[in-house]
Structure 1
Amino acid sequence: MDSKEKLKLTFISLFTFIIQFYLSKSKFSEALSKRIEISTPVSSFLRVQEGLFLYRRGLDPYSGGVYYQSPLILFLHFSCELLGGVDAIRILYSFLTVASGWLVYKISEKYQENKKHRDLYCGTSSLWISIIYLLNPLTFLPNIACSSDVILNFLTLAFIYFSIQGFQVGYACTVALSLFVNPGTISLVLPSYYILKQSNPKASITGTFFVFLFYMSCLIIGSAILLQTFTFLMTPLHVYMNAHDLTPNIGLWWYFFTEIFEEFRLFFLFVFAVAPVMFIIPITIRLQKLPLIATVLMMGIHSIFKIYPSIADYSLFLSLLPIFGKAQENMKYSLLANNGIVFALVLGTTFYHSWITLGCGNANFFYASNLILAIGISLKAMDFLRAVLMIEWRSKHPEKKNEPLVQIP
């Protein structure tokens, strides 16, 4: 990073920090914290406050049936309130968003310098990719609402960054923290491990696993001592696996399990849970030499099938795609996918307001917008994979570079 580019990124980061912190203190933040596109049962700031209320009074925060998040989120909020009240929490979230922007920059910079796959990674500058992430409304709004998905995104970017640097201990530590916050990020562990192996051939799976196990044990034991109970192990997992909290969100689970007959519930829980897992091994094996692409692709798939998704999940996937500039140039359906995503988000907000506030709509209209959003993200992911495979094939067959590829039915 040259000094001029560093100065620009510092200015943008400072500007983002000030604006986000200022807006998080306004009534706009309170309104956003109630929006289902931003706050879910496992990321809502209001639910963290409920958990803190119980914890301060010496009660189990998981006993109220409201708080489902990781103890780590609870302790972070509790520590910040001791240091400086709610403003300290807002500063923390603004700082983590800015830090995530810097991690995006470093990840992009590392791969822009990759001469081995210049036909994939050359394109948008690292500075612009970082700016796209920082000023993206899908990133900006969850931070203002103090959604804990901001913390999860930071941890996800952190373990990708450590894997790129080949830092085995840092990678294992941040993976443990990420899984402790949200077990669903397990879908990113295998492809990101291949990034670590590519950067550091000396890293072993046994050593990484034992370091991970050590950090995870410390997190579990420490949480158990502070909470004086082990309910934090079962309650969040129960929510993720059983989907008993059917609060409307922009995902695919809630409406389906509201309507399903009870005798079929277990079967479809299995189907919905296994669906994203089925992609991990095939994608990782096929893109073994391009592990960052496999990781970003799994981010998109994970956001589609996540039980309680928010716009912050989509921001991570969509903001990292510009790293692969040449692949984006070869994507055929970007306009259709982008318009579908924007259309679904705007339409979903309108339908939810019509359903809940005005009482002149119903859940079917809102869920239809969720389906359009899932189709838009799916189309984006499939088009991206098609472009990557096409570039890879043409790099191996340079004599057919100018020949059009036709899919044989």
Structure 2
Amino acid sequence: MALETLMGALQGGKRIQLHPWYCPLPLLSAMSARTLPTPVLAALVCGLCVAVRMLGWLLFPSLGEALDKSAEFSSPVSSYRSLREALVVASGTMYDGGVVHHPPLLIEALRAVPTAYHRALFVAMDCLVAVQFLRMTAQIKRRYASISVPVWLPAVVYAVNPLSIMSCLSQSSVVFAHWAIVNAVSDALGGSIPHTALFVSLAGYFAVYPALLLFPLATFLLARRSAAGRVSVLVKLGLFVVLNAAVLLAASYKVSGDSWLFLRASYFSLLNFEVVTPNLGLWWYFFAEMFTEFIPFFKAVYNLFLLSPVVPLAIRFNAQPLFATVVTMGWILLMKPYPVLGEYGFWFVWLLYFQPLAGYMRYKVFAMLLYIHGIMLSPIFYHLWIGSGAGNSNFFYAVSLVNALAVGTILSDLLWGMLRHEYDGDKPDFDRKLAQI
């Protein structure tokens, strides 16, 4: 029960000694973050992040290309192959073939970097995400006294997480959205309206659905304000988001050769699920089997279903904005049309902040084992279907359902844990049964 041991130690505020295989820098597990200057700690985390990723490329030179072709780490909207396709054609024609689905400004930014340095760029972005986790964890600990997770732990977990490492090796573009999300949360914790709006707009620009995080993040900015102050904050936040989105879209229009084709290729194709391809999501099998005349209706239903709980969650848990934000991330991951394992690895890091809820969560081990089974079976069943022809699409979709069940179990367990935490208050009673409430 390693997970229960880890969460129990965190809940008790104990210092955790990580196994050397898990943490190549024993210094981080032997010393409290309080004894290390922030620049030194950031340098150690960044060095760890770079080392494990470069080691992966050195030991397995062809692994990145293989992962970029896999359904688990690559999708039409995040594939590096699609990015390379865009880089070799003129800016005004890159959306003509229906292959490229990345936003124009991201493509132009990568066009300015020689292809030989793209690996270094993706590693640098991963380092920025890990270092930002350091800053954000310190902010969270100052704001929530009950969270005793070491400052360095989320950053180290992100740096050595196999899912994050393989996502970086595949050069998936999801890292840019992750960078924007972690900055948006950090700035919301700091109370900066312009910066929060900027990074939420960037996250939505890179991947559309993270724009929904605007609702739970707004509750950070509304905390401890009067009614008039809340109205002012909401107006300012809305205006900044609209302004940033307008600037990003206008700039995209110019770099696309004065064309709006990028809107359909990058955003409407995602919302409409125009590229029906096998992935870890719940959409593809449903629409591959759906009668043609019903497809538009059910696409609208799926999008509305994804959107429907976001605002209620933000309202219900307005006193726990971090919780509302992380649950919303998980819900988006569960219901989005093209999820990849790199996004799962990113979301799992956020669960470390809820160690006070660990005693209430009933299905931790079940969800963990369920997800490990999904990760192990996914390439096997995909090969049986596509590679050897010994299986069919039901094989791979079964893995998608297992992954969805794992994420859904974690979400329901988190919600139950938070409700129990609110009910018990400062006196947790982990033995209380549901019938006693």
TM-based fold match above 0.5: yes
Q: Give the whole-Å Cα distance in 2 for the aligned partners of 1:341 and 1:164.
A: 31
CA contact 2:360–2:430 (8 Å) conserved in 1: no
* Corresponding residue for residue 367 of structure 1: 397
Write the letter of the residue equivalent to 1:207. K
Distance 1:169 1:8, change over 3 A: closer
Q: Distance in 2 between matches of 1:267 and 1:343?
A: 33
Query: Does residue 147 of structure 1 match 2:172?
Result: yes
Q: Deviations over 1:72-99 (max 9, x none)?
A: 221121011xxxx223221221111111
Distance 1:5 1:235, change over 3 A: same
Q: Say whether 1:354 aligns with 2:354.
A: no
Q: C-alpha distance in 2, partners of 1:328/1:149?
A: 29
Aligned-residue offset at 1:3: 5.0
Residue in structure 1 matched with residue 203 of structure 2 by the alignment: 178
Q: Does the 8 Å contact 2:45/2:155 carry over to 1?
A: no
Quickly say closer, same or farther: Cα 1:346–1:172, change in 2 above 3 A: same
From 324, 329, 336, give the equivalent of 2:354.
324
Q: Secondary structure, in 3 states, of the residue corresponding to 1:204? A: helix
Contact 2:371 2:406 survives alignment (8 Å):
yes
Amino acid at match of 1:179: G
Secondary structure of 2:152's counterpart equals helix
1:2 and 2:34 aligned: yes
Q: For the Cα contact (< 8 Å) 2:104–2:255, is it kept in 1?
A: no
SS in 2 for 1:66: coil
Evaluate the alpha carbon distance shift between residue 403 and residue 16 of structure 1 in structure 2; reply closer, same or farther with a 3 A threshold. closer
- Superposition pairs of residues 54-65 of structure 1, within 5 angstroms: 54-55=89-90, 59-65=92-98
Shift of 1:286: 1.1
Which region of structure 1 is more displaced relative to structure 2, 278-287 or 1-10?
1-10
- The residue matched to 1:324 in structure 2 has which SS? helix
Once the two structures are overlaid, the 10-residue window that deviates more, 190-199 or 377-386, is 190-199
Deviation at 1:165, TM superposition (A): 0.9
Choose 212-221 or 143-152, whichever is displaced more. Answer: 212-221
Of residues 270, 280, 295 in structure 1, which corresponds to 2:310?
Answer: 280
What's the Cα RMSD here? 2.1
1:372 counterpart SS class? helix
CA gap 1:334/1:401 in 2 versus in 1, 3 angstroms: closer
CA-to-partner distance for each residue in 1:92-138, whole Å, 9 max, x for gaps? 21111111112222222222223xx534x23x312112111111112
Distance in 2 of aligned mates of 1:182 and 1:339: 29
Distance of 2:377 and 2:74 partners within structure 1: 18
Q: 1:32 to 1:5 in 2, by over 3 A?
A: farther
- TM-score, with structure 2 as normaliser: 0.86
- Residue 51 (structure 1) aligns with: 86
**Which stretches in structure 1 are left out of the alignment for 5+ residues?**
none
Identity across aligned pairs (percent)? Answer: 24
The aligned residue for residue 295 of structure 1 is 325
Matches within 5 A, 1:59-208: 59-80=92-113, 85-114=114-143, 117-119=144-146, 121-122=147-148, 124-198=149-223, 204-208=233-237
Question: In 2, Cα distance between the equivalents of 1:166 and 1:327?
Answer: 26
Q: Distance in 2 between matches of 1:408 and 1:402?
A: 12
- TM-score with structure 1 length normalisation? 0.92
Distance 1:402 1:95, change over 3 A: closer
2:72–2:340: 8 Å Cα contact kept in structure 1? yes
Residues 234-264 of structure 1: per-residue CA shift (max 9 Å, x gap):
2222212221201111111111100000121
Alpha carbons 1:246, 1:258 under 8 Å: kept: yes
Q: Is the 8 A contact 2:95 2:262 kept in 1?
A: yes
**Number of the residue aligned with 2:69:** 34
1:165, 1:199 within 8 Å by CA — same for their partners in 2? no
1:407, CA displacement in angstroms? Answer: 4.3
Unaligned runs of 5+ in 2: 1-32
Given that 1:72 and 1:181 are in contact with CA atoms closer than 8 Å, whether structure 2 keeps it comes out as: no
Using the alignment, how far apart are the partners of 1:126 and 1:243 within structure 2? 39
Aligned to 1:405: 433
- The Cα of 1:277 is off from its aligned counterpart by 1.1
Superposed CA deviations along residues 306-355 of structure 1, whole A, max 9, x for unmatched, are 11110122122211111111112321100000100110111111100111
Distance 1:36 1:402 in 2: 40
1:256 corresponds to which residue? 286
Q: Which has the higher mean CA deviation after the structures are superposed, 24-33 or 266-275?
A: 24-33
Q: Distance in 1 between matches of 2:225 and 2:177?
A: 25
Provide the C-alpha distance between the structure 2 equivalents of 1:307 and 1:112, rounded to a whole number of angstroms. 34
Letter in 2 for 1:143: C
Distance 2:117 2:101 in 1: 22
**Aligned partner of 2:116: which letter?**
D
C-alpha contact 1:20 1:94 (8 A) present in aligned 2: yes
Indicate conservation of the 8 Å contact 1:36/1:248, yes or no. Answer: yes
